[in-house]
Amino acid sequence: MPTVTAALLVLALTATSQEVLDGAPPSAWRPLDDERTLYLELPAGRVVIELAPQFAPRHVANVKALARGRYWDGLVILRAQDNYVVQWGDPDDETPGKARPLGTAEAKLPAEFTRAAAGLPFTRLPDTDGWAPEVGFSDGFAVGREGAAGAAWLAHCYGLVGAGRDNPPDSSNGASLYVVIGQSPRHLDRNITTVGRVVQGMELLSVMARGPAPMGFYEQPGLGTAIKAVRVAADVPAAERTRLELFRTDGAAWDALVETRRNRREGWYQRPAGHADLCGLAVPVRPTPAVAPAPAR
């Protein structure tokens, strides 16, 4: 639709982010895929995670198998380190006889730190990044890459979900997961397997009392927030699912939105930055709009 595209690009030169969102067509939004969505159910509410099988197929398959085996239900948040991560898993996972059974999930997986950029959608950002030769977005995920023929990986931005590991690169299997709750720890990029990102409910994780022990661990596991359940959205009764749409990170509407973040036009700003950084660009999320009922005959 060249008319819409041209209008959006012109608008972006003088518009605010809100104006771009208000003016974007329905096609600028996409629904969450319930088979690629995980619900972390906490006493305070639901955290919605979009999984990234395109970056870590083995780990994401394992995470889904663990959720379907109710592996995490009744466990607790083990760690909340200020300006860094919240993490959960089985505190006894290395204790024979006490470790929770993995069910149909695999105990050992290869590291999935990066993948080939070839075949991956990629909308490059116009600005420089110190951590990667190129940065941009791929189906909503903040991504670094070495070029179209090199490697690509998820960037450690606010809300990223990764698979905790010990020193061996292949020591993660997805049973222990962490979420970034502070300044983007991009030094972790390409050093660990990443499996998704939180699209709703970050404020339930970010407020958790920080653990007093080193690295934010609670001194006793019982001090951490309880995990009621972790479920694949597709397994939850349809009426109980969280219906969300995400702003697409390709096309003219996205380009227009990025430009409104690079140079803010709201009246408050005195000096547009002429820059946006990868982890400063939140992808908009909204409840799926209700379908208008057909008019009565």
Q: Three-state SS for 255?
A: helix
- Residue 240's φ and ψ, nearest 5 degrees, are -100, 5
200 to 98, 99, 180, 230: CA distances (angstroms): 33, 30, 14, 15
Q: Which is nearer to a second copy, 172 or 173 (CB)?
A: 172
In a 13 Å sphere around the CA of 134, the CA atoms on its Cβ side amount to 15
Asked if residues 137 and 154 have their Cβ atoms less than 8 Å apart, the reply is: no
State the minimum distance, in angstroms, from the CB of residue 157 to a second copy: 7
State the minimum distance, in angstroms, from the CB of residue 7 to a second copy: 25
Q: Which is nearer to a second copy, 42 or 102 (CB)?
A: 42
Return left, alpha or beta for 113; rule: phi > 0 is left, psi -120 to 50 is alpha, else beta: alpha
For the record, the structure tokens of 54 come out as 């395109």
State the minimum distance, in angstroms, from the CB of residue 35 to a second copy: 28
- Residue 238's φ and ψ, nearest 5 degrees, are -55, -40
State the minimum distance, in angstroms, from the CB of residue 124 to a second copy: 14
Q: Which is nearer to a second copy, 6 or 209 (CB)?
A: 209
Q: Three-state SS for 122?
A: coil
Q: Which is nearer to a second copy, 135 or 195 (CB)?
A: 135
Q: Let me know if 269 is exposed, middle or buried by CB neighbors in 10 A (0-12, 13-18, 19+).
A: exposed
State the minimum distance, in angstroms, from the CB of residue 264 to a second copy: 6
State the minimum distance, in angstroms, from the CB of residue 295 to a second copy: 34
Q: Which is nearer to a second copy, 118 or 215 (CB)?
A: 215
Q: Which is nearer to a second copy, 196 or 251 (CB)?
A: 196
Q: Which is nearer to a second copy, 71 or 158 (CB)?
A: 158
Write out the residues near a second copy by the rule CB under 8 A: 82-83, 113, 127-131, 157-158, 166-167, 169, 182-187, 189-191, 202-203, 206-210, 261, 264, 267-271, 273, 275-277, 279-280, 282
- Identity (one letter) of the amino acid at 216? G
The β-bridge partners of 50 are: 37, 197
State the minimum distance, in angstroms, from the CB of residue 216 to a second copy: 9
d(CA 22, CA 24): 6
d(CA 249, CA 177): 26
